[in-house]
Amino acid sequence: MKIARYSYQGAIAFGIVDDDDELVVLRSDPMFAGFDTTGDRVALADVKLLAPVIPRSKIVAVVSSGAEPSFVLRPNTAVVGPGDSILLPAASERVEVEGQLAIVIGKIAKNVPAADALSRVFGYTVATVVTAADLASATRAGAFDTFLPLGPVIETEFDEAATALRGLINDEEFQAVSLGDDDRTTEDTVAALVAFASSVFTLLPGDVILAGRLDTPADVVDGDTVTLSIAGIGTLVNPVVRPA
């Protein structure tokens, strides 16, 4: 099931994507209120899709895998949605992007064993992970506003072990990864990441875990367009802009 967060006639709402051209309107955020519908429908073409989740607590960005993954926390102000601009900061002359699978937590999780970890996951979305590669601080490098586009929807029934991720800058492919062939993005590893993160701090509904670098980043400059697709979830497109 694909869940969209969107703006329509001045209001923010949630809906279930039906046949890729309509939204079945939900009464509230399904992460907290379930999937009750209003009975209304709205055309996808008539809405603006927003970031499908704004983390209320934290974004956990995994920077290396292993028995004890290393990670940094990103602020929720880094999150933007489909079509929003990635703003290049004045402090950096080399900014790079990489597509990653984003895991959206749906239930409180603390010290959850890996065998039960997937029950705490609400769904998955596409993340364009942006980094100021020439800054020494890993925390600062990924913390700028607009440095984490998410979207276009959350897929609640996604099979991460049987799909692929593809990235384009303008019309040139820079990333093509079969997630099922990568040890860092298999179902077992997703469960392990959720379990490990929950052993460090309490995960709250809406928290996002970025499943880890795939070592396929590419530099972007003013005027570029970044397109990231994960089969089964959708395509996320964002322009790159250096503010005057």
Q: Which residues contact 146 (CB under 8 A, 6 or more apart)?
A: 78, 80, 84, 85, 86, 87, 130
CA distance linking residue 31 with residue 34, whole number of Å = 6
Mean pLDDT computed over every residue of the chain: 92
Percent of the chain with pLDDT over 70: 94
User: What pairs with residue 36 in β-bridges?
Assistant: none
pLDDT for 242: 96
d(CA 138, CA 59): 14
Q: What contacts 144, CB < 8 A, 6 or more positions away?
A: 78, 87, 89, 130, 132
Straight-line distance from the first to the last Cα atom of the chain, in angstroms, rounded to the nearest whole number: 41
Q: What pLDDT does 139 receive?
A: 77
- The residue with tokens 């997937």 is 118
Band (229; pLDDT cuts 50, 70, 90): very high
On the question of a common fold for 2-49 and 59-241, the answer reads no
pTM of the predicted model, to two decimals? Answer: 0.94
Pick the closest to residue 122 from 138, 108, 112, 135 (CA basis).
108
Q: How many angstroms separate the CA atoms of 28 and 120, rounded?
A: 20
> 82 near 49, Cβ under 8 Å?
yes
Give the type of residue at 129. Answer: V
pLDDT of residue 67: 65
pLDDT tens for residues 155-195?
A: 999 876 667 899 999 999 999 988 766 555 555 688 999 99
Radius of gyration of the chain (CA): 17
- Amino acid in the structure at residue 173: E
Q: Is 191 helix (H, G, I), strand (E, B) or coil?
A: helix
- Determine whether 85 is exposed, middle or buried from the number of CB atoms within 10 Å of its CB (0-12, 13-18, 19+): middle
What residue ranges do the domains of the chain occupy? 2-49, 59-241
SS3 of residue 108 by DSSP? coil
**What is d(CA 171, CA 35) in angstroms, rounded to the nearest whole number?**
38
Q: Give CATH for domain 59-241.
A: 3.90.850.10
The three-class DSSP label of residue 21 is coil
Which pLDDT belongs to residue 185? 55
38-42, 180-184, 235-239: least confidently modelled range: 180-184
Asked whether the CA dihedral 214, 134, 138, 227 is positive or negative, the reply is negative
Of the options 1.10.1200.10, 3.30.413.10, 1.20.1250.20, 2.30.30.370, the CATH number for the domain spanning 2-49: 2.30.30.370
